[in-house]
Amino acid sequence: MASLADDPGGRRRILFFNARHERKVLRLGRVDRHWAETARGHIEKLADAAIVNSTPPPETSAWVAALPDVLRRRFAAVGLAAAPAQEAALKLRAFLDDYRAARAVALKPRTQTVLAGAARCMLEHFGPDRPLDSITPGDVDEFRLYLLKKGLAPTTISRRIAVCKTVFAFARRKRLIAESPFADVKTGCMVNAARQVYIDRATVEKVLAACPPDSDLRLIVALARYGGLRVPSEVMPLRWGDIHWGENDFTVHSPKTERHPGHESRLVPLFADLRPLLQAAFEAAPEGSEFVIRNRRLSNAYLTKLLRHVLQQASTERWPRLWQNLRSSLATDLAEDFAPFLAARWCGHSLAIANSHYWTTRRTDIDRAATWTPKSAAEKAAQNAAHSGAIPDSQALSGDQQVAAVIAPDNTGQYVKVSEYKPGGYALTPTWTLRKRAGATPWPTRAV
């Protein structure tokens, strides 16, 4: 007899007695219950065959032969099957090299950089020749401590743990390992509030003044702060043909979000702060220029180096995330004056991402809140009336005109329900406007 037991985290194990009546445990790892029940049945047949020294049924032998090598070695360790042919265990470096090569076409350059950083940390800690299936959850706990000792920021550690989870989940789906040692590891927080800084317009204007007048850097800073473009992925593909001067907008092509249907590009208003800078660059551009940014070899690292130099020359303190803080500052400004969904759409991210990584509390917000007092009931009523279009009490109908429902003729002579009177004025429907009765001719009224 064999019995199935459940372990925490969705793991299963089979308990059985071998031919010498010794209690054995075969750990299956994280598998669903249906597969575990099937395994239990085959293990019973294998154990019975071992007790009587006979051959197991053909279907059981075929089932064992189809198991991954990791599980077959576990079966062999408890005497239920022959060990698989000895092959060189897959080493960590070989697996990571194959994984990065296979994903090189699908991954964006920035994602490849993040993957390379996580792979470098794994190779430094586990060793390049570590067999992939020998890494345990306990080893992963030590790996997190290793990242902490390196002095990495908490968000960087969380990001690298998330990459490792993805890599080992891929290995599990390829049946290179029975279970992922990173499966139960929590990635942690991805938000670092200390690096979310608001860059006001005065600071940006100071930086723009320190840039050479006809430099690409000056226009890139303006596109990031006053247009909300990602640098360099959205700035470099921008063409003069994408700018619609007459419609007051321009099209931004986004390599980062193009994998999501409908997010290959977005339409952004030609904001008043950005338009004169773009116009000046357009007039100064050589005849036949296609791209807004003339130098096509500007990398992110080089642009960052240039901006740091300009900040030093402008005697401006360097903010933590040079390009992202410029974008997040515009997102914060837009969220104050426009609907949040519009602010997020123009900047090319979701509301959840905007709330976590972009919207920032400004010093002016705190100063304004310090002098804020709640509105009185009368002020709230006036504000609600202004928003709804209701007629205030001074213009409301009185006497026999205060009926439960008013029927007023439109231009065609048809009688339509207009409004219902409430204290404080008439709450109007979006379609009709209730006018005060003029002269002695009353509007026909009837109960509705």
Q: How many CB atoms lie within 10 A of CB 278?
A: 22
Q: Are 9 and 185 in contact (CB under 8 A)?
A: no
Please, what's the b/e burial string for 350-387 (b: 16 or more CB within 10 A of its CB; e: otherwise)? Answer: eeeebeebbbbeeeeeeeeeeeeeeeeeeeebeeebee
pLDDT above 80 for 21: yes
Q: Are 45 and 31 in contact (CB under 8 A)?
A: no
Amino acid letter, residue 374: P
Q: Where are the alpha helices (DSSP H) in 30-108?
A: 33-51, 58-65, 69-77, 92-103
Q: Where are the alpha helices (DSSP H) in 151-248?
A: 154-173, 201-210, 216-227
Give me the mean pLDDT over the 173-178 stretch: 86
Location of each CATH 1.10.150.130 domain in the chain = 92-190
User: Rounded CA gap, 170 and 354, in Å?
Assistant: 30
User: Rounded CA gap, 424 and 111, in Å?
Assistant: 58
> To the nearest whole number, what is the mean pLDDT of the chain?
82
Find where tokens 């590891």 sit: 185
> In this predicted model, which residue has the larger pLDDT, 71 or 323?
323
Q: Are 393 and 425 in contact (CB under 8 A)?
A: yes
Confidence band for 378, pLDDT divided at 50, 70 and 90: confident
Give me the mean pLDDT over the 272-277 stretch: 94
pLDDT at 339: 92
Q: Are 292 and 279 in contact (CB under 8 A)?
A: no
Q: Are 46 and 60 in contact (CB under 8 A)?
A: yes
Give me the mean pLDDT over the 280-287 stretch: 92
Q: Look at the pTM and tell me if it is higher than 0.75.
A: no
Give me the mean pLDDT over the 300-323 stretch: 92
CATH number among 3.40.50.10320, 2.60.40.1260, 1.10.443.10, 1.10.1060.10, domain 197-366: 1.10.443.10
The two three-digit tokens of residue 382, written as one number:
């006036």
pLDDT at 388: 54
- Nearby residues of 141 by Cβ (< 8 Å), 6 or more positions away: 185
pLDDT at 310: 94
Number of helical H runs and strand E runs in the chain: 16, 10
CA-wise closest residue to 390 among 436, 433, 443: 433
pLDDT above 60 for 11: yes
pLDDT at 354: 87
Q: Which of 25-34, 101-110, 302-311 has the highest mean pLDDT?
A: 302-311
Q: Are 332 and 359 in contact (CB under 8 A)?
A: yes
CATH number among 1.20.1600.10, 1.10.150.130, 3.40.630.10, 3.30.420.10, domain 92-190: 1.10.150.130
pLDDT at 395: 45
User: Rounded CA gap, 354 and 345, in Å?
Assistant: 10
Instruction: Give the least confident one: 150-164, 346-360, 367-381.
Output: 367-381
User: Rounded CA gap, 186 and 188, in Å?
Assistant: 6
Cα atoms in the 13 Å half-sphere on the side-chain side of 228: 31
Location of each CATH 1.10.443.10 domain in the chain = 197-366
First to last CA, the chain: 79
